[in-house]
Amino acid sequence: MTHTIAILTIGSEILDGRIVDTNSSFLGRTARSRGLAVTTRVTCDDDQDIIVRWIRELLCSVDILVMTGGLGPTPDDLTRDAIAAFAGKELTLVGEELEKLKEWYESKGRELTAINSRQAWFPEGALCIHNPVGTASGIWLEVEVAGRKKGIVALPGIPRELEPMWREDVLDRMGRFLGVEEASNERIIRTFGLPESEVAQRLLTVAGLHKLQIAYQVMYPEVIVVMRGSRGDDNLFSAAIEAIGAEYIVSQDYGTPLPKAVADLLRAQQKTVSVAESCTGGLIGQLITMHPGASSVFPGGIVAYSNKCKESLLGVDGNLFERDGAVSGAVVRSMAGGVRARTHSSVAVSISGIAGPDGATPTKPVGTFFVGLSTGNATKSYRFFFSSDRDRIRIFAAYKALDVVRRELSGLPAPDDARELEEEPAELAGALPQGAELEEFE
């Protein structure tokens, strides 16, 4: 039996486009693991009458209504009032919640004001959902609608508060309420290097694939595949994963995109990576450091956009620009070797390219970029081409550079869209300029 939920997002800031609702996609995605299907998603204004109307309408057709937003202390935070009005309940002060608020504000060196104490009021009969991050606890209330027991969940709209509350409390709470304790059999595959159509085409070769429910999601430049089946479908999942190809599978975890997967590999192997960037302007370093714990694997990087900076900061021989051009295998090999020598990293990756709209040549059109990789053994370079606009080229190129690192660390072949260029011994790439001291760059 499939149980259903609806999501009601509250806030004028979502309706008028000031912020984007990411909570609904998170809730819908994770609800599937408990066999819950999201049938409806609604966003409404901060108006009590409108909120009550939507609560009434949505609860007629689903088992549980999940509400986000409107639990704060300001006058336009009306979720608790609307739930109480719908259920015909009074708002009551919960002493334990009031004490928690006092302690929280005292820990910040602040005094709990009357307006902030509103967060300690709950509809009569409601249970409080602990908020491990912020001050606004969630609400759980069971109501009867048309002779059937239904559930109402209300959570803060701030994702960093909502997500741990949902994972650590609400999913299990809803499961108990509905009698659905076990998670469904599901696999989530993050891929990079294949377009969505090619991923789908490869999966079509798997016999018995029709037994699985398969959904695709493009989170550029990655493609995510969600496969759901029964308890006996493990072999089918394995066949599907094999059909995609191990070299294209970044992770089997929704929360581990390519940059985090690379950092995890480096950490597991007790290695570090440094970056030397031109056309991506620091994007590779940003992708690595956007996840916690990056300091253990990323000593640093150098953004060298001009040829002069490539020479002075990375030790690139100026003659290479005349002979091969700034966008070339020889230059990125020198860049990678140079940054690895200066940061003492285990691995270094470099990039130089033509993101457009200007700078193209007959032999190097817009979308051409070179990736260099330096390890303790050798320094390699690869040529790639990706035709698109400037922003998408830069993002794709940054991910491709990280993918080269991932494949090197995992012992996988180079990307099949790469043209591998000549190698040179690691010690010859990016040597320090004559007379320069290494300390200058540390």
Question: What CATH architecture does domain 3-178 belong to?
Answer: 3-Layer(aba) Sandwich (3.40)
3-state secondary structure of 221: coil
**What pLDDT does residue 442 have?**
25
Q: How many helices (H) and strands (E) does the chain have?
A: 15, 19
Whether residue 253 is predicted with pLDDT greater than 90 in this model: the reply is no
Query: pLDDT (tens digit, 9 = 90+) per residue, 196-239?
Result: 999 999 999 999 888 888 888 889 999 999 888 877 888 999 99
Domain assignments of the chain as residue spans, ordered by start? 3-178, 185-251, 267-441
Please give the single-letter amino acid code of residue 424: E
**What pLDDT does residue 388 have?**
95
How large is the C-alpha radius of gyration of the chain?
27
| Mean pLDDT over the full length of the chain | 91
Q: Which two tokens stand for residue 55?
A: 């609560």
Which of these, 239, 317, 304, lies nearest to 276 by C-alpha position?
304
Mean pLDDT computed over 159-182: 88
Whether residue 48 is predicted with pLDDT greater than 70 in this model: the reply is yes
Backbone angles phi, psi at 232, to 5 degrees: -95, 15
| E strand or H helix that includes residue 419 | strand 419-420
**What pLDDT does residue 379 have?**
95
Model confidence at 433, pLDDT cuts 50, 70, 90, reads: very low
| CATH label, 267-441, candidates 3.90.950.20, 3.40.50.720, 2.30.30.40, 3.30.499.10 | 3.90.950.20
Whether residue 123 is predicted with pLDDT greater than 60 in this model: the reply is yes
What is the fold, at CATH topology level, of the domain defined by 185-251? Alpha-Beta Plaits (3.30.70)
| E strand or H helix that includes residue 284 | helix 283-289
Cis peptide before 195 (omega within 30 of 0): no
User: At a CB cut-off of 8 Å and minimum separation 6, what does 60 contact?
Assistant: 145, 146
Q: Which two tokens stand for residue 232?
A: 């006996």
